Structure 1
Protein backbone atom coordinates (compact mmCIF):
# COMPACT_ATOMS: atom_id res chain seq x y z
CA UNK A 1 0.00 0.00 0.00
CA UNK A 2 1.32 3.43 -0.95
CA UNK A 3 2.14 5.73 1.97
CA UNK A 4 -0.33 8.58 1.48
CA UNK A 5 2.28 11.15 2.41
CA UNK A 6 4.28 10.06 -0.64
CA UNK A 7 1.48 10.91 -3.07
CA UNK A 8 2.54 13.83 -5.26
CA UNK A 9 -0.67 14.51 -7.22
CA UNK A 10 -4.22 14.21 -5.91
CA UNK A 11 -6.93 13.78 -8.55
CA UNK A 12 -9.99 15.42 -7.07
CA UNK A 13 -13.62 14.85 -7.85
CA UNK A 14 -15.49 18.11 -7.39
CA UNK A 15 -19.12 17.99 -6.26
CA UNK A 16 -19.40 16.18 -2.93
CA UNK A 17 -15.62 16.11 -2.54
CA UNK A 18 -14.27 19.66 -2.79
CA UNK A 19 -17.44 21.62 -3.46
CA UNK A 20 -21.16 21.42 -2.88
CA UNK A 21 -22.95 23.55 -5.43
CA UNK A 22 -21.10 26.87 -5.49
CA UNK A 23 -19.51 26.51 -2.07
CA UNK A 24 -16.35 24.84 -0.80
CA UNK A 25 -16.78 21.95 1.60
CA UNK A 26 -15.26 22.35 5.10
CA UNK A 27 -11.49 22.06 5.07
CA UNK A 28 -11.20 22.13 1.26
CA UNK A 29 -9.45 25.51 1.06
CA UNK A 30 -6.94 24.50 3.73
CA UNK A 31 -6.34 21.12 2.08
CA UNK A 32 -5.67 22.60 -1.38
CA UNK A 33 -3.43 25.33 0.05
CA UNK A 34 -1.42 22.79 2.03
CA UNK A 35 -0.88 20.56 -0.99
CA UNK A 36 0.83 23.43 -2.80
CA UNK A 37 2.76 24.59 0.27
CA UNK A 38 4.08 21.07 0.90
CA UNK A 39 5.27 20.60 -2.68
CA UNK A 40 2.36 18.42 -3.73
CA UNK A 41 -0.03 18.93 -6.62
CA UNK A 42 -3.72 18.56 -7.43
CA UNK A 43 -5.93 18.30 -10.48
CA UNK A 44 -9.72 18.57 -10.56
CA UNK A 45 -11.36 15.70 -12.45
CA UNK A 46 -15.00 15.82 -13.47
CA UNK A 47 -17.27 13.70 -15.64
CA UNK A 48 -19.34 16.75 -16.63
CA UNK A 49 -18.74 17.19 -20.37
CA UNK A 50 -21.31 19.95 -20.81
CA UNK A 51 -18.66 22.45 -19.68
CA UNK A 52 -14.99 22.90 -20.53
CA UNK A 53 -11.98 23.54 -18.33
CA UNK A 54 -12.35 27.32 -18.57
CA UNK A 55 -15.74 27.09 -16.84
CA UNK A 56 -14.22 25.20 -13.92
CA UNK A 57 -11.23 27.52 -13.72
CA UNK A 58 -13.60 30.47 -13.33
CA UNK A 59 -15.65 28.61 -10.72
CA UNK A 60 -12.67 27.65 -8.57
CA UNK A 61 -11.03 31.05 -8.84
CA UNK A 62 -14.35 32.57 -7.79
CA UNK A 63 -14.11 30.42 -4.66
CA UNK A 64 -10.58 31.67 -3.97
CA UNK A 65 -8.77 28.56 -5.22
CA UNK A 66 -5.70 28.80 -7.46
CA UNK A 67 -6.66 27.09 -10.71
CA UNK A 68 -5.59 27.09 -14.35
CA UNK A 69 -6.79 25.02 -17.35
CA UNK A 70 -3.93 22.58 -16.77
CA UNK A 71 -5.41 21.88 -13.33
CA UNK A 72 -8.70 20.51 -14.75
CA UNK A 73 -9.59 17.33 -16.62
CA UNK A 74 -13.13 16.87 -17.89
CA UNK A 75 -14.47 13.74 -19.53
CA UNK A 76 -14.90 15.87 -22.64
CA UNK A 77 -11.20 16.72 -22.77
CA UNK A 78 -10.31 13.07 -22.12
CA UNK A 79 -12.55 12.04 -25.02
CA UNK A 80 -10.90 14.57 -27.30
CA UNK A 81 -7.48 13.22 -26.28
CA UNK A 82 -8.58 9.63 -26.85
CA UNK A 83 -9.94 10.31 -30.35
CA UNK A 84 -6.90 12.40 -31.25
CA UNK A 85 -4.69 9.41 -30.35
CA UNK A 86 -6.73 7.28 -32.77
CA UNK A 87 -7.18 9.68 -35.66
CA UNK A 88 -6.16 13.37 -35.59
CA UNK A 89 -8.51 15.67 -37.51
CA UNK A 90 -11.14 12.93 -37.71
CA UNK A 91 -14.67 13.63 -38.86
CA UNK A 92 -16.97 13.56 -35.82
CA UNK A 93 -20.72 13.65 -35.43
CA UNK A 94 -21.05 15.25 -32.00
CA UNK A 95 -24.06 15.36 -29.72
CA UNK A 96 -22.80 17.91 -27.22
CA UNK A 97 -23.00 21.46 -25.95
CA UNK A 98 -21.31 24.44 -27.65
CA UNK A 99 -18.63 24.23 -24.93
CA UNK A 100 -17.82 20.65 -25.90
CA UNK A 101 -17.93 21.55 -29.60
CA UNK A 102 -15.25 24.18 -28.94
CA UNK A 103 -12.95 21.57 -27.41
CA UNK A 104 -13.24 19.41 -30.53
CA UNK A 105 -12.72 22.35 -32.87
CA UNK A 106 -9.66 23.46 -30.89
CA UNK A 107 -8.13 20.07 -31.74
CA UNK A 108 -9.01 20.54 -35.43
CA UNK A 109 -11.65 17.81 -35.58
CA UNK A 110 -14.23 18.21 -38.34
CA UNK A 111 -17.74 18.30 -36.88
CA UNK A 112 -20.16 16.91 -39.44
CA UNK A 113 -23.00 14.47 -40.02
CA UNK A 114 -21.61 13.46 -43.42
CA UNK A 115 -19.48 10.31 -43.42
CA UNK A 116 -18.16 10.76 -39.87
CA UNK A 117 -15.41 8.54 -38.49
CA UNK A 118 -16.99 8.61 -35.01
CA UNK A 119 -20.25 9.42 -33.28
CA UNK A 120 -19.67 11.10 -29.90
CA UNK A 121 -22.28 11.57 -27.19
CA UNK A 122 -21.66 14.04 -24.39
CA UNK A 123 -23.80 15.49 -21.62
CA UNK A 124 -25.79 17.42 -24.20
CA UNK A 125 -28.05 20.01 -22.60
CA UNK A 126 -28.87 21.16 -26.15
CA UNK A 127 -30.00 17.68 -27.28
CA UNK A 128 -32.78 17.73 -29.88
CA UNK A 129 -34.85 15.05 -31.55
CA UNK A 130 -33.11 15.83 -34.83
CA UNK A 131 -29.71 15.21 -33.25
CA UNK A 132 -30.94 11.87 -31.90
CA UNK A 133 -32.35 10.76 -35.26
CA UNK A 134 -29.09 11.50 -37.06
CA UNK A 135 -26.96 9.94 -34.31
CA UNK A 136 -29.04 6.77 -34.13
CA UNK A 137 -28.98 6.36 -37.92
CA UNK A 138 -25.18 6.61 -37.93
CA UNK A 139 -24.80 4.22 -35.00
CA UNK A 140 -27.05 1.65 -36.66
CA UNK A 141 -24.92 1.99 -39.80
CA UNK A 142 -21.87 0.92 -37.78
CA UNK A 143 -20.04 4.21 -37.17
CA UNK A 144 -17.87 3.78 -34.03
CA UNK A 145 -19.76 5.20 -31.07
CA UNK A 146 -18.09 6.95 -28.11
CA UNK A 147 -19.58 8.52 -24.97
CA UNK A 148 -17.83 10.94 -22.66
CA UNK A 149 -19.07 9.41 -19.38
CA UNK A 150 -21.69 7.02 -17.94
CA UNK A 151 -23.44 9.10 -15.22
CA UNK A 152 -27.21 8.74 -15.33
CA UNK A 153 -27.98 11.91 -13.40
CA UNK A 154 -26.22 15.21 -12.78
CA UNK A 155 -26.63 16.57 -9.22
CA UNK A 156 -28.14 20.03 -8.86
CA UNK A 157 -28.65 22.33 -5.84
CA UNK A 158 -31.22 21.35 -3.22
CA UNK A 159 -30.76 17.61 -3.81
CA UNK A 160 -32.23 17.81 -7.31
CA UNK A 161 -31.03 15.87 -10.38
CA UNK A 162 -31.24 16.24 -14.16
CA UNK A 163 -30.71 13.49 -16.80
CA UNK A 164 -27.06 13.05 -17.67
CA UNK A 165 -25.13 11.28 -20.43
CA UNK A 166 -25.84 7.77 -19.14
CA UNK A 167 -29.59 8.34 -19.43
CA UNK A 168 -29.08 9.50 -23.02
CA UNK A 169 -27.02 6.37 -23.69
CA UNK A 170 -29.94 4.22 -22.56
CA UNK A 171 -32.32 6.09 -24.85
CA UNK A 172 -30.01 5.47 -27.81
CA UNK A 173 -29.58 1.82 -26.79
CA UNK A 174 -33.36 1.38 -26.79
CA UNK A 175 -33.43 2.60 -30.38
CA UNK A 176 -30.25 1.05 -31.79
CA UNK A 177 -29.44 -1.86 -29.48
CA UNK A 178 -25.89 -0.52 -29.15
CA UNK A 179 -23.83 0.89 -26.29
CA UNK A 180 -20.76 3.13 -26.69
CA UNK A 181 -17.18 2.91 -25.55
CA UNK A 182 -17.11 5.20 -22.50
CA UNK A 183 -14.08 7.38 -21.68
CA UNK A 184 -14.83 9.16 -18.38
CA UNK A 185 -14.78 7.86 -14.81
CA UNK A 186 -14.61 5.02 -13.86
CA UNK A 187 -12.68 4.09 -17.00
CA UNK A 188 -8.92 4.11 -17.23
CA UNK A 189 -8.84 6.36 -20.33
CA UNK A 190 -9.55 9.54 -18.36
CA UNK A 191 -6.65 8.81 -16.00
CA UNK A 192 -4.38 8.10 -18.96
CA UNK A 193 -5.16 11.63 -20.17
CA UNK A 194 -4.15 12.89 -16.72
CA UNK A 195 -0.90 10.91 -16.88
CA UNK A 196 -0.04 12.80 -20.07
CA UNK A 197 -1.05 16.13 -18.52
CA UNK A 198 1.05 15.44 -15.41
CA UNK A 199 3.82 13.44 -17.06
CA UNK A 200 6.36 14.45 -14.37
CA UNK A 201 4.79 11.96 -11.94
CA UNK A 202 4.86 8.17 -11.83
CA UNK A 203 1.52 6.28 -11.64
CA UNK A 204 2.22 5.29 -8.03
CA UNK A 205 2.48 8.99 -7.13
CA UNK A 206 -1.19 9.66 -7.98
CA UNK A 207 -4.28 9.21 -5.83
CA UNK A 208 -7.93 9.48 -6.85
CA UNK A 209 -10.16 11.22 -4.29
CA UNK A 210 -13.95 11.21 -4.48
CA UNK A 211 -17.27 10.59 -2.76
CA UNK A 212 -18.62 7.82 -5.02
CA UNK A 213 -17.53 4.20 -4.95
CA UNK A 214 -18.70 3.22 -8.44
CA UNK A 215 -17.09 6.16 -10.24
CA UNK A 216 -14.32 7.79 -8.19
CA UNK A 217 -12.98 4.83 -6.23
CA UNK A 218 -13.51 2.47 -9.16
CA UNK A 219 -11.49 4.88 -11.31
CA UNK A 220 -8.52 4.52 -8.99
CA UNK A 221 -8.84 0.75 -9.01
CA UNK A 222 -9.14 0.56 -12.81
CA UNK A 223 -6.13 2.83 -13.28
CA UNK A 224 -4.02 1.00 -10.72
CA UNK A 225 -3.56 4.03 -8.46
CA UNK A 226 -4.35 4.78 -4.81
CA UNK A 227 -8.04 5.43 -4.19
CA UNK A 228 -9.44 7.62 -1.40
CA UNK A 229 -13.11 7.73 -0.46
CA UNK A 230 -14.43 10.79 1.36
CA UNK A 231 -17.70 10.50 3.25
CA UNK A 232 -18.70 14.10 2.54
CA UNK A 233 -20.96 13.29 -0.39
CA UNK A 234 -22.83 10.27 -1.68
CA UNK A 235 -21.18 7.17 -0.20
CA UNK A 236 -21.56 6.01 3.41
CA UNK A 237 -19.73 3.37 5.44
CA UNK A 238 -22.80 1.16 4.93
CA UNK A 239 -22.19 1.43 1.18
CA UNK A 240 -18.54 0.50 1.66
CA UNK A 241 -19.42 -2.53 3.74
CA UNK A 242 -21.94 -3.73 1.16
CA UNK A 243 -19.80 -3.04 -1.94
CA UNK A 244 -17.07 -5.09 -3.58
CA UNK A 245 -15.40 -1.79 -4.56
CA UNK A 246 -12.98 -1.06 -1.72
CA UNK A 247 -10.97 2.18 -1.44
CA UNK A 248 -7.40 2.20 -0.21
CA UNK A 249 -8.19 4.93 2.33
CA UNK A 250 -11.38 6.36 3.82
CA UNK A 251 -11.70 9.84 5.33
CA UNK A 252 -14.62 11.90 6.55
CA UNK A 253 -13.66 14.65 4.10
CA UNK A 254 -10.71 16.39 2.45
CA UNK A 255 -10.24 18.44 5.61
CA UNK A 256 -9.33 15.22 7.38
CA UNK A 257 -6.85 14.33 4.62
CA UNK A 258 -5.25 17.73 5.31
CA UNK A 259 -4.90 16.93 9.01
CA UNK A 260 -3.56 13.46 8.24
CA UNK A 261 -0.90 14.79 5.85
CA UNK A 262 0.20 17.43 8.36
CA UNK A 263 0.59 14.73 11.00
CA UNK A 264 2.57 12.49 8.62
CA UNK A 265 4.74 15.46 7.66
CA UNK A 266 5.49 16.05 11.34
CA UNK A 267 3.33 19.20 11.56
CA UNK A 268 0.44 17.72 13.34
CA UNK A 269 -7.34 12.39 12.58
CA UNK A 270 -6.91 9.31 11.75
CA UNK A 271 -8.54 7.45 8.92
CA UNK A 272 -9.77 3.98 8.11
CA UNK A 273 -7.25 2.07 6.00
CA UNK A 274 -8.40 -0.95 4.02
CA UNK A 275 -5.94 -3.80 3.94
Structure 2
Protein backbone atom coordinates (compact mmCIF):
# COMPACT_ATOMS: atom_id res chain seq x y z
CA UNK A 1 0.00 0.00 0.00
CA UNK A 2 1.26 3.49 -0.88
CA UNK A 3 0.81 5.94 1.96
CA UNK A 4 0.76 9.65 1.18
CA UNK A 5 2.26 12.00 3.73
CA UNK A 6 1.31 15.58 4.66
CA UNK A 7 -1.91 15.68 2.66
CA UNK A 8 -5.64 15.32 3.32
CA UNK A 9 -7.17 14.66 -0.07
CA UNK A 10 -10.56 13.61 1.35
CA UNK A 11 -10.89 16.67 3.58
CA UNK A 12 -11.12 14.53 6.71
CA UNK A 13 -9.72 17.20 9.02
CA UNK A 14 -12.46 19.67 8.08
CA UNK A 15 -14.95 17.35 9.82
CA UNK A 16 -12.89 17.02 13.00
CA UNK A 17 -14.06 19.19 15.89
CA UNK A 18 -11.70 17.87 18.58
CA UNK A 19 -8.11 16.66 18.48
CA UNK A 20 -7.02 14.16 21.13
CA UNK A 21 -3.27 14.64 21.20
CA UNK A 22 -0.64 12.30 22.52
CA UNK A 23 2.12 14.24 24.28
CA UNK A 24 5.56 12.55 24.34
CA UNK A 25 6.78 12.43 20.75
CA UNK A 26 3.75 14.25 19.37
CA UNK A 27 3.83 17.79 20.79
CA UNK A 28 7.05 17.68 22.79
CA UNK A 29 10.12 15.64 23.66
CA UNK A 30 11.10 16.04 27.29
CA UNK A 31 10.77 19.78 27.99
CA UNK A 32 11.24 20.81 24.36
CA UNK A 33 8.38 21.60 21.98
CA UNK A 34 8.38 19.73 18.69
CA UNK A 35 8.77 22.31 15.93
CA UNK A 36 5.44 23.92 15.07
CA UNK A 37 3.43 22.19 17.80
CA UNK A 38 2.40 25.43 19.50
CA UNK A 39 1.45 26.90 16.12
CA UNK A 40 -0.80 23.87 15.59
CA UNK A 41 -2.52 24.34 18.95
CA UNK A 42 -3.21 27.99 18.11
CA UNK A 43 -4.48 27.06 14.66
CA UNK A 44 -6.92 24.56 16.19
CA UNK A 45 -8.31 27.27 18.46
CA UNK A 46 -8.43 29.80 15.61
CA UNK A 47 -10.47 27.29 13.60
CA UNK A 48 -13.05 27.16 16.41
CA UNK A 49 -12.08 23.63 17.35
CA UNK A 50 -10.71 22.19 20.58
CA UNK A 51 -7.98 19.85 21.72
CA UNK A 52 -7.29 17.65 24.70
CA UNK A 53 -4.08 15.89 25.63
CA UNK A 54 -4.44 12.13 26.00
CA UNK A 55 -1.40 10.38 27.40
CA UNK A 56 -0.61 6.83 28.37
CA UNK A 57 2.16 8.06 30.66
CA UNK A 58 0.96 7.26 34.18
CA UNK A 59 4.12 8.53 35.90
CA UNK A 60 2.52 11.98 36.15
CA UNK A 61 -0.92 13.14 37.23
CA UNK A 62 -2.94 15.77 35.32
CA UNK A 63 -1.76 18.61 37.58
CA UNK A 64 1.88 17.71 36.85
CA UNK A 65 1.18 17.97 33.13
CA UNK A 66 -0.55 21.33 33.54
CA UNK A 67 2.49 22.58 35.47
CA UNK A 68 4.90 21.16 32.90
CA UNK A 69 3.14 22.90 30.01
CA UNK A 70 3.01 26.10 32.05
CA UNK A 71 6.81 25.90 32.44
CA UNK A 72 7.00 25.48 28.69
CA UNK A 73 4.93 28.63 28.18
CA UNK A 74 1.55 27.09 27.43
CA UNK A 75 -1.48 27.39 29.73
CA UNK A 76 -4.26 24.81 29.75
CA UNK A 77 -6.92 23.67 32.21
CA UNK A 78 -7.02 20.36 34.07
CA UNK A 79 -10.01 19.40 31.93
CA UNK A 80 -7.72 19.37 28.88
CA UNK A 81 -5.61 16.49 30.21
CA UNK A 82 -6.68 12.84 30.24
CA UNK A 83 -4.21 10.23 31.52
CA UNK A 84 -4.17 6.44 31.68
CA UNK A 85 -3.99 6.84 35.45
CA UNK A 86 -7.36 8.60 35.51
CA UNK A 87 -8.91 6.03 33.18
CA UNK A 88 -7.54 3.22 35.37
CA UNK A 89 -9.12 4.77 38.47
CA UNK A 90 -12.44 4.92 36.61
CA UNK A 91 -12.06 1.27 35.58
CA UNK A 92 -11.26 0.14 39.13
CA UNK A 93 -14.25 1.96 40.58
CA UNK A 94 -16.56 0.29 38.05
CA UNK A 95 -15.07 -3.21 38.16
CA UNK A 96 -13.33 -3.56 41.54
CA UNK A 97 -15.19 -1.20 43.89
CA UNK A 98 -13.76 -0.98 47.41
CA UNK A 99 -11.06 -3.56 46.63
CA UNK A 100 -7.59 -3.20 48.15
CA UNK A 101 -5.04 -2.34 45.46
CA UNK A 102 -1.32 -3.02 45.22
CA UNK A 103 -0.04 -0.20 43.02
CA UNK A 104 3.33 -0.36 41.32
CA UNK A 105 3.65 3.34 40.58
CA UNK A 106 5.51 6.42 41.68
CA UNK A 107 4.40 8.90 44.32
CA UNK A 108 2.33 11.07 41.97
CA UNK A 109 0.27 8.09 40.80
CA UNK A 110 -0.16 6.85 44.36
CA UNK A 111 -1.42 10.27 45.44
CA UNK A 112 -3.82 10.38 42.50
CA UNK A 113 -5.28 6.99 43.42
CA UNK A 114 -5.66 7.89 47.09
CA UNK A 115 -7.27 11.26 46.33
CA UNK A 116 -9.80 9.42 44.17
CA UNK A 117 -10.68 7.12 47.08
CA UNK A 118 -8.81 4.02 45.88
CA UNK A 119 -7.62 1.87 48.82
CA UNK A 120 -3.91 1.13 48.49
CA UNK A 121 -2.58 -1.85 50.41
CA UNK A 122 0.90 -3.35 50.01
CA UNK A 123 0.46 -6.17 52.54
CA UNK A 124 -2.88 -7.80 51.70
CA UNK A 125 -4.08 -6.49 48.33
CA UNK A 126 -6.89 -7.96 46.28
CA UNK A 127 -5.92 -6.45 42.90
CA UNK A 128 -2.56 -5.57 41.30
CA UNK A 129 -2.14 -2.40 39.24
CA UNK A 130 1.11 -1.76 37.37
CA UNK A 131 1.90 1.71 36.08
CA UNK A 132 4.97 3.47 34.70
CA UNK A 133 6.98 3.46 37.93
CA UNK A 134 9.94 5.80 37.50
CA UNK A 135 11.01 4.97 41.09
CA UNK A 136 11.19 1.25 40.42
CA UNK A 137 13.34 -0.85 42.74
CA UNK A 138 14.31 -4.51 42.78
CA UNK A 139 12.35 -4.95 46.01
CA UNK A 140 9.21 -3.63 44.33
CA UNK A 141 9.71 -5.99 41.38
CA UNK A 142 10.10 -8.94 43.73
CA UNK A 143 6.90 -8.02 45.57
CA UNK A 144 4.79 -7.52 42.45
CA UNK A 145 6.04 -10.82 40.97
CA UNK A 146 5.06 -12.62 44.19
CA UNK A 147 1.55 -11.17 43.98
CA UNK A 148 1.21 -11.98 40.28
CA UNK A 149 2.20 -15.60 41.03
CA UNK A 150 -0.57 -15.73 43.64
CA UNK A 151 -3.08 -15.25 40.81
CA UNK A 152 -4.57 -11.90 41.87
CA UNK A 153 -6.32 -9.85 39.18
CA UNK A 154 -3.53 -8.01 37.34
CA UNK A 155 -4.31 -4.67 35.67
CA UNK A 156 -1.99 -2.20 33.96
CA UNK A 157 -2.39 1.46 33.14
CA UNK A 158 -0.89 1.18 29.63
CA UNK A 159 1.17 -1.05 27.31
CA UNK A 160 3.96 1.24 26.00
CA UNK A 161 7.38 -0.41 25.94
CA UNK A 162 9.35 2.84 25.71
CA UNK A 163 8.85 6.50 26.59
CA UNK A 164 10.50 8.98 24.20
CA UNK A 165 12.73 11.70 25.65
CA UNK A 166 15.02 14.38 24.28
CA UNK A 167 17.95 11.96 24.44
CA UNK A 168 16.28 8.75 23.26
CA UNK A 169 13.95 6.17 24.78
CA UNK A 170 13.55 4.97 28.37
CA UNK A 171 11.82 1.74 29.48
CA UNK A 172 8.08 2.20 30.08
CA UNK A 173 5.28 0.08 31.55
CA UNK A 174 5.43 -2.54 28.79
CA UNK A 175 9.06 -3.24 29.68
CA UNK A 176 7.98 -3.76 33.30
CA UNK A 177 5.29 -6.20 32.09
CA UNK A 178 8.02 -8.13 30.24
CA UNK A 179 10.13 -8.39 33.39
CA UNK A 180 7.15 -9.61 35.41
CA UNK A 181 6.25 -12.14 32.71
CA UNK A 182 9.81 -13.47 32.60
CA UNK A 183 9.63 -14.20 36.34
CA UNK A 184 5.95 -14.82 37.07
CA UNK A 185 4.76 -16.04 33.64
CA UNK A 186 1.78 -13.70 33.37
CA UNK A 187 1.03 -10.61 31.36
CA UNK A 188 -1.67 -8.19 32.60
CA UNK A 189 -5.23 -9.48 32.47
CA UNK A 190 -6.38 -6.07 31.30
CA UNK A 191 -4.61 -2.94 30.04
CA UNK A 192 -6.48 0.37 30.27
CA UNK A 193 -4.47 2.84 28.17
CA UNK A 194 -4.32 3.28 24.41
CA UNK A 195 -5.18 1.31 22.31
CA UNK A 196 -7.82 -0.03 24.73
CA UNK A 197 -11.42 1.02 24.34
CA UNK A 198 -11.50 1.80 28.07
CA UNK A 199 -9.44 4.98 27.82
CA UNK A 200 -11.12 6.01 24.57
CA UNK A 201 -14.58 5.67 26.11
CA UNK A 202 -13.35 7.58 29.15
CA UNK A 203 -12.01 10.32 26.88
CA UNK A 204 -15.35 10.75 25.11
CA UNK A 205 -17.13 10.88 28.46
CA UNK A 206 -14.72 13.35 30.09
CA UNK A 207 -14.23 15.65 27.10
CA UNK A 208 -17.86 15.50 26.02
CA UNK A 209 -16.99 14.69 22.41
CA UNK A 210 -18.44 12.53 19.67
CA UNK A 211 -16.01 9.87 18.52
CA UNK A 212 -16.63 10.33 14.81
CA UNK A 213 -15.85 14.04 15.11
CA UNK A 214 -12.63 13.46 17.09
CA UNK A 215 -9.14 12.58 15.85
CA UNK A 216 -6.59 10.65 17.88
CA UNK A 217 -3.17 12.03 16.94
CA UNK A 218 0.05 10.35 18.01
CA UNK A 219 3.47 9.04 17.11
CA UNK A 220 2.82 5.34 17.75
CA UNK A 221 0.93 2.91 15.59
CA UNK A 222 0.27 0.21 18.19
CA UNK A 223 -1.12 2.60 20.81
CA UNK A 224 -2.19 6.00 19.44
CA UNK A 225 -3.30 5.16 15.91
CA UNK A 226 -4.78 1.80 16.88
CA UNK A 227 -6.73 3.54 19.65
CA UNK A 228 -8.25 5.82 17.05
CA UNK A 229 -9.04 3.49 14.17
CA UNK A 230 -10.27 0.63 16.38
CA UNK A 231 -12.61 2.72 18.54
CA UNK A 232 -14.55 4.91 16.14
CA UNK A 233 -12.14 7.85 15.98
CA UNK A 234 -10.01 9.14 13.12
CA UNK A 235 -6.47 7.83 13.65
CA UNK A 236 -3.62 10.15 12.64
CA UNK A 237 0.06 9.23 12.75
CA UNK A 238 2.78 11.86 13.13
CA UNK A 239 6.37 10.90 12.32
CA UNK A 240 7.93 13.09 15.02
CA UNK A 241 8.38 10.36 17.63
CA UNK A 242 8.60 6.59 17.67
CA UNK A 243 7.12 5.32 14.40
CA UNK A 244 8.59 5.76 10.94
CA UNK A 245 7.31 4.89 7.48
CA UNK A 246 8.99 1.48 7.63
CA UNK A 247 6.80 0.71 10.64
CA UNK A 248 3.72 1.81 8.69
CA UNK A 249 4.53 -0.57 5.85
CA UNK A 250 4.98 -3.48 8.26
CA UNK A 251 2.00 -2.78 10.53
CA UNK A 252 -1.53 -4.13 10.42
CA UNK A 253 -2.67 -0.76 11.83
CA UNK A 254 -3.56 1.59 8.97
CA UNK A 255 -3.64 5.31 9.84
CA UNK A 256 -6.38 7.44 8.28
CA UNK A 257 -3.79 10.18 7.73
CA UNK A 258 0.00 10.54 8.12
CA UNK A 259 1.85 13.79 8.73
CA UNK A 260 5.52 14.56 9.33
CA UNK A 261 4.44 16.49 12.44
CA UNK A 262 1.34 18.25 13.77
CA UNK A 263 2.58 21.45 12.11
CA UNK A 264 1.88 19.94 8.68
CA UNK A 265 -1.80 19.54 9.60
CA UNK A 266 -2.40 23.27 9.91
CA UNK A 267 -3.31 24.00 6.25
CA UNK A 268 -6.05 21.35 6.33
CA UNK A 269 -7.91 22.48 9.48
SS of 2:230's partner is helix
The aligned runs of 1:87-102 (5 Å cut-off) are: 87-102=96-111
Counterpart CA distance in 2 for 1:138 and 1:58 is 35
Q: How many pairs were matched up?
A: 259
* Equivalent pair of 1:2/1:226 in contact (CA under 8 Å): no
**Which structure exhibits the higher relative contact order, with contacts defined as CA atoms closer than 8 Å and separated by 6 or more residues?**
2
Superposed CA offset, 1:8-29 (max 9, x none):
1111011221112212222211
- Higher alpha-carbon deviation: 27-36 or 2-11: 2-11
Residue 212 in 1 paired to residue 220 in 2? yes
The aligned runs of 1:40-189 (5 Å cut-off) are: 40-159=49-168, 161-180=169-188, 181-189=190-198
The aligned runs of 1:17-32 (5 Å cut-off) are: 17-32=26-41
> Post-superposition shift, 1:2?
8.0
Q: Counterpart of 1:268?
A: none
Counterpart CA distance in 2 for 1:195 and 1:2 is 23
Over the aligned positions, Cα root-mean-square deviation in angstroms equals 1.7
Counterpart CA distance in 2 for 1:245 and 1:251 is 16
Runs of 4+ in 1 over 3 A off after TM superposition: none
Structure 1 unaligned spans of 5+: 262-275
> Post-superposition shift, 1:98?
0.5
Q: Counterpart of 2:257?
A: 249
Return the match for 2:246 from 224, 238, 243.
238
SS of 2:212's partner is helix
Counterpart CA distance in 2 for 1:27 and 1:259 is 12
SS of 2:237's partner is strand
Return the match for 1:5 from 6, 14, 25.
14
Q: 1:26 to 1:186 in 2, by over 3 A?
A: same
Q: Counterpart of 1:226?
A: 234
* Equivalent pair of 2:102/2:122 in contact (CA under 8 Å): yes
* Equivalent pair of 1:2/1:204 in contact (CA under 8 Å): no
